[in-house]
Amino acid sequence: MTQKINDLRDRMIVALDVPTVWDAYRIVSTLGDGASFYKIGYRLAFAGGLDLARQLVTEGKKVFLDLKLHDIGNTVTEGVESLTKLGVTFLTVHAYPQTMRGAVEGRGDAALRLLAVTALTSYDDGDLKDAGYGLAVRDLVRMRAQQARSAGVDGIVCSAAETEIVRDVIGPDMAIVTPGIRPAGSAVGDQKRTLTPAEAIRAGADHLVVGRPIIRAADPRAAAAAVMDEIASAA
């Protein structure tokens, strides 16, 4: 269930896509009070990132564990049960019905909020076709948002470009979390469905995930502040 976002800073989630815990800590201390929410993906999770997640939570930061779980239902249930003990805010699973149902069972009554990844933001219609899907991105996102709602997860990961169709399907209570955020002029890289921070907020995204435009900036603190300024002006 969506919780009111009291701190505007929580709308920006900085992706700690770095090789070591030491690199991650350097970013966290550089950003200081300029960021309150961090995402740990598998690069870092496989290199001590789960202990870092616990530590950041202890220090009052919010953590999004982006593990994109996908397996048989029982294995997902058991994996999620273990992860409920870390104290993180968000965990991703792929938006397959069995996977999502398994994750909801594993979460039980814990405070952990489950996000369902609909269609990766590096995919366009051609990539989906290559992967064997007969649906356009927007249709797959809509279908998976419906299934996510039925499964009882707490939010959706999609491009901010799909916020409107997703909100229409899931209603006001689930969170919409959008990677593929690119401030004007920043390199797009492998992302294919991008919006600027201001566009994403205006479109109705709850949280924006920003990685390389901040962590690879010459001045990450200034880059994060610029994203926050855009969020504040559009909110």
Ligand X SMILES: O=c1ccn([C@@H]2O[C@H](COP(=O)(O)O)[C@@H](O)[C@H]2O)c(=O)[nH]1
* Residues of each annotated binding site for substrate: 17, 39, 66-75, 121, 182, 191, 211-212
For ligand X, which residue of 112, 209, 227, 231 counts as binding (CB under 6 A)? 209
Q: Pick the binder of ligand X from 27, 53, 117, 224 (CB under 6 A).
A: 117
- Measured distance CA(141)–CA(19) in Å, rounded: 31
Q: Which is nearer to ligand X, 78 or 165 (CB)?
A: 165
Q: Please count the residues of this chain forming the interface with ligand X, following the rule CB under 6 A.
A: 16
Catalytic hit among 68, 85, 129, 192: 68
Q: Is 68 a catalytic residue?
A: yes
List Cβ<8 Å contacts ≥24 apart for 136-140: 137/162, 137/193, 138/162, 138/165
Torsion of CA 134, 137, 138, 143, to 10 degrees: 60
Nearer to ligand X, 49 or 211 (CB): 211
Interaction mask 13-42, ligand X, x per CB under 6 A:
--x-x-----------------------x-
- Closest listed residue to residue 17, CA positions, set 205, 189, 194: 189
Q: Distance between CA atoms of 84 and 11, rounded to whole angstroms? A: 22
CB of residue 109 to ligand X, shortest distance in Å = 27
Residue 212 found at the interface with ligand X (CB under 6 A): yes
Tell me the closest approach of the beta carbon of residue 87 to ligand X, in angstroms. Answer: 21
Terminus-to-terminus CA distance in the chain, angstroms? 21
Report how far residue 235's alpha carbon sits from residue 221's, in angstroms, rounded to the nearest whole number.
21
Question: Rounded to the nearest whole angstrom, what is the least distance from the CB of residue 15 to ligand X in the complex?
Answer: 4
Going along 82-174, which residue ranges are E strands? 90-94, 113-117, 155-157
Scanning residues 82 to 111, which ones bind ligand X (CB under 6 A)?
Answer: none
Q: How far is the CB of 218 from ligand X (least distance, A)?
A: 16
Both tokens of residue 200?
């994403």
Within positions 140 to 199, which residues make up the interface with ligand X, using CB under 6 A? Answer: 157, 179-180, 189, 191
Give the H/E segment covering residue 178.
Answer: strand 175-178
Question: Residue 174 corresponds to which amino acid?
Answer: M
CB of 117 to ligand X, least distance (A): 5
Is the Cβ of residue 48 or residue 189 nearer to ligand X in the bound state? 189
Q: Rounded distance, CA 89 to CA 91, Å?
A: 7
Catalytic residues: 68
Query: Where on the chain is the footprint of ligand X (CB under 6 A)?
Result: 15, 17, 41, 66, 117, 120-121, 157, 179-180, 189, 191, 209-212
